[in-house]
Amino acid sequence: MIPKETGFRMRGEFSEHLGTVMIFPERPGSWPYGAQPALPAFRKIWEAITADEQLFLIVSPAMRDKAQSMVQDLERVTLLTIPQNDAWARDTAPTFVSAPGSIMGINWQFNAWGGDYDGLYTDYAEDDALAPALCEMLDIPVFDAHPFVLEGGSIHSDGNGTILVTESCLLSPGRNPSMTKDEIADMLCRCLGGSKVLWLPRGIYNDETNEHVDNVCAFLRPGEVVLAWTDDPSDPQYPLSCACLEYLESVTDAEGRRLTIHKLPIPAHPVCITQHDLDGFTFAEGEDTREVGERLAASYVNFYFTNHSVLLPQFGGDNAESDAQAVRLMQAWCPDRRIVPIPARELIVGGGNIHCLTQQIPAISCVR
């Protein structure tokens, strides 16, 4: 493990970044119609990131020319050619930890969100090899946490020693079935410089990652979280969010603080797969498929902090009012940042959202 005396820890995402890692989309089982419907949203994310910090954009050899043409007018973009299986940088890129003057990447084992038990695709060798390849390119030391299975979207940190996760994900039989809950918590604390793990019981309804925490709850700053919410008892999300609220109200963080909890309503109208969406996919053998009417895990909590902004999902259509409400609430809770609305429907058709597609690299000077 990483010795505690080194001072390495996972900083809060709201802390200063050196830059952000993303991956150019191309997997036909995730991105219908050659990712063309999703690319405008990717472009808006790239623009927002490069307004504030460096973007490290990973591309496959086949996509390098296309990616280059899409970012050539943007400053602060570095293209890195690394083979990979899909675009979810949060889950396949390293989790970066830092100490004064140093950064390290943690290379978790990746098994496509469940491996043989309930993984979403069977060929994920390139995804599992991505983290050390990226660290080598960026000249960042890497700590190999294999065979511990973890995705970056399943953890949040307040930078002060508190790690936030969901039981539904980390205790899934497809992750680390031979480990107890306490052993998993100990592993997280030793790798991330944490001292306390908070275990939310559930995540977002129908989230195919076994309910990653980054879709249901996130830190705005130490001692303060935002929680996906609905007031509708008939919505399947209602009991999940209520269980999370009850838990959060009962615990303290690593520094003994009671949490301030902000409720961020989910879209008022479910976002679902259409026949047009379905017609654009090409699924590989053994890959999880989709169906018309399938409810997608739409949540405004899957936002991303840059150095000066919050990139906030927007779902459009019948959810225009919900979108506007999310912007107003996040601006009130983050008054020192710009709120950048990002059209995200085509992103969740792919299976994730803005936070799932991004991974921050903390600034070397970062201390919180």
Q: Among residues of the chain, what percentage have pLDDT more than 70?
A: 97
> Where are the strands (E) in 61-114, listed by range?
77-81, 95-99, 102-109
Reported as a single tens digit per residue, the pLDDT across 305-353 is 999 999 999 999 999 999 999 999 999 999 999 999 999 999 999 999 9
pLDDT band, very low/low/confident/very high, at 168 (cuts 50, 70, 90): very high
Q: How confident is the model at residue 365 (pLDDT cuts 50, 70, 90)?
A: low
The structure's pTM equals 0.97
Which superfamily is assigned to 4-362 in CATH?
L-arginine/glycine Amidinotransferase; Chain A (3.75.10.10)
Asked whether the beta carbons of 236 and 270 are under 8 A apart, the reply is no
On the question of pLDDT at 366 being above 50, the answer is no
What is the average pLDDT score of the chain? 96
347 burial (CB, 10 Å; 0-12 / 13-18 / 19+) is buried
- Burial call 321-331: b when 16+ CB within 10 Å, e when fewer: ebbebbbebbe
Kindly list the distances between the CA atom of residue 93 and the CA atoms of 39, 70, 333, in Å, as whole numbers in the listed order: 20, 22, 29
**Cβ of 92: how many Cβ atoms within 10 Å?**
27
Give the residue-averaged pLDDT of 265-270.
98
Q: Is the dihedral of CA 2, 167, 109, 154 positive or negative?
A: negative
Q: Which of 189, 244, 334, 356 is catalytic?
A: 356
What pLDDT sits at residue 307? 98
pLDDT of residue 7: 82
Active site residue 191: no
Whether the per-residue pLDDT at 90 is higher than 70: the answer is yes
